[in-house]
Amino acid sequence: MTQIREMDSGEKRLNELGYKQELRREMTLFKTLAISFSTMTLFTGITPLYGSSLLYAGPASLVWGWVIVSFFTWFVGIAMAEICSSFPTTGSLYFWAAHLAGPRWGPFASWCCAWLETIGLIAGIGTQAYAGSQTLQSIILLCTGTNKDGGYFAPRWLFLCMYIGLTVIWAVLNTFALEVIAFIDMISIWWQVIGGLVIVIMLPLVALTTQSASYVFTSFETAPTSTGISNEAYAAVLSLLVSQYSLYGYDAAAHLTEETKGADKNGPIAILSSIGIISVFGWAYILALTFSIQDPSYLFDTSNETAGVFVPAQILYDAFHGRYQNATGAIILLFVIWGSFFFGGLSITTSAARVVYALSRDQGIPFSSVWRKVHPKHKVPSNAVWLCAAICILLGLPILKVNVVFTAITSICTIGWVGGYAVPIFARLIMKEKNFKAGPFYLGKARRPICLVAFLWICYTCSVFLLPTYYPITWATFNYAPAALGLVLGLVMLWWVVDARKWFKGPVRNIDTPNGKV
């Protein structure tokens, strides 16, 4: 006698939306949270931008900026959690945009959202590879001596090799079954929680002296000689970039909803839990670094032990060398931080490949038939994984000649990724409530004010990442993100006007629903 399989609530809703279950639905809430948390990561946003944000306006703006950004991030997360509960699909954001915008505007909204999200996620792999290579560069420098004692400082060509190496490793790992990625990401969440606690607790205890509370919480000072920026308001805006760059990525849980049990409930829980954990741990990490500074003016000195290129590494070195007269402790903690970049890049590669796969499934990418193929054994979109890796490597090639590569990739990543959030949130804001089929997580009358605040905050975030970050503006200091994004998005919009609008209708169902309704 054939046993009838009980259909999961997330799979049932997926069928109602017009999709059959093709990926394995094996992810638990904890595994989904682990991947979402790893995509945001505790260290990967704060560590590479900590130094520049501290330089712009001093510690107070950096410390309180995290609190401000965390507050507004909750509005975005809550708005997205409600939509995720109603639409638990791998296509996530662009699928949401298509259905929330209605039949008239749905295809265009879906097209814009899909490409913003794709651009942001692929650039996100690059940010992790770059910052991970930067951390490894500091580890090698301290292991072979220091900048003052003849240590080896990796040149540009080796830095690029490390960047490419990390990207390829992440692609290889993502070619295996999702259980492998989930297992690694479960290690990741413990790695970051335990490692984060060790750093947050140990660093201020090891440091011979700590900064006063008045310095950490009230000191506001610009550095016009270094940044060229003397306007205090402008400097304060730029000092918040570290927080705005760090506090996103929680949509990773939405990309895995077709592989998550009870996704209509567990997807929103994973999104909000990720924001909560990162908000608390991130602030603690910023405070630990800032309280442990020994000499603020020495951090940016190009003749210091870490060549003045990686402020957190210098803070760690000063603390441990001051106490123990060696750099062993700093090297170990830098390795913990590097591990966070490794896990983060792995998770973002997972998310990027899922978005490319979903968009290819709906024929929204050239050669879609290639990128939508699922590995016959491992049931993962392996071709999409390698496409993302290849584009990421191309983004990193200017490392050989340009100093502001990280600034450009970070801006592209943030604007694309967070900008993708804005489309479905705006559609949810203006749609008629009767057209929305609520999931278990439902905001009711609170959805309009929450969505409005979330949308305005996203617009502000995208705007500030287009600003110049150093003056005077030269070829060496220019923020290339507006030009790069303008070119890519211009081509995407041209493609829409000339051709895509004729055939791209948004998400394409692969099963027939009984009544055609979603």
Q: Does 412 fall in a domain?
A: yes
The total of structural domains in the chain comes to 1
Q: Residue 359 sits in a domain of what CATH number?
A: 1.20.1740.10
Residues 6+ apart with CB under 8 A from 433: none
Q: Does 260 fall in a domain?
A: yes
Q: Does 176 fall in a domain?
A: yes
Q: Does 515 fall in a domain?
A: no
Q: Does 513 fall in a domain?
A: no
- Among 15, 452, 416, which Cα is nearest to 251's? 416
Contact in structure between 349 and 388 (CB atoms under 8 Å): yes
Q: Does 50 fall in a domain?
A: yes
Residue 459 to residues 244, 422, 480, Cα–Cα distance (Å)? 12, 8, 19
Question: How would you write the pLDDT of the chain (518 residues) with one tens digit per residue?
Answer: 444 445 555 455 555 555 554 444 455 666 666 666 666 666 778 888 898 899 898 999 999 999 999 999 999 999 988 888 877 665 567 778 888 888 888 889 988 888 888 888 899 899 999 999 999 999 999 999 888 888 898 898 999 999 999 999 999 888 876 677 777 777 877 887 788 889 999 999 999 999 999 999 999 988 888 888 888 899 999 999 888 888 877 776 665 655 556 667 777 888 888 888 888 888 999 999 999 999 888 888 888 888 888 899 999 999 999 999 998 999 999 999 999 889 888 888 887 888 888 778 777 777 767 666 776 666 677 788 888 999 999 988 888 777 677 888 888 888 988 888 899 999 989 888 888 887 888 888 898 999 999 999 999 999 999 888 888 877 777 778 888 888 888 988 998 998 888 888 777 655 554 444 44
Structural domain boundaries, residue 327: 9-502
Orientation angle between helical segments 481-495 and 405-430, nearest 10 degrees: 50
Contact in structure between 407 and 103 (CB atoms under 8 Å): no
pTM: 0.85
Q: Give the model's pLDDT for residue 151.
A: 85
Q: Does 165 fall in a domain?
A: yes
Q: Give the model's pLDDT for residue 84.
A: 83
**Alpha helix locations (H) across 152-177?**
156-174
Residue type, 93: L
Q: Does 494 fall in a domain?
A: yes
Q: How far apart are CA 35 and CA 347, in angstroms?
A: 6
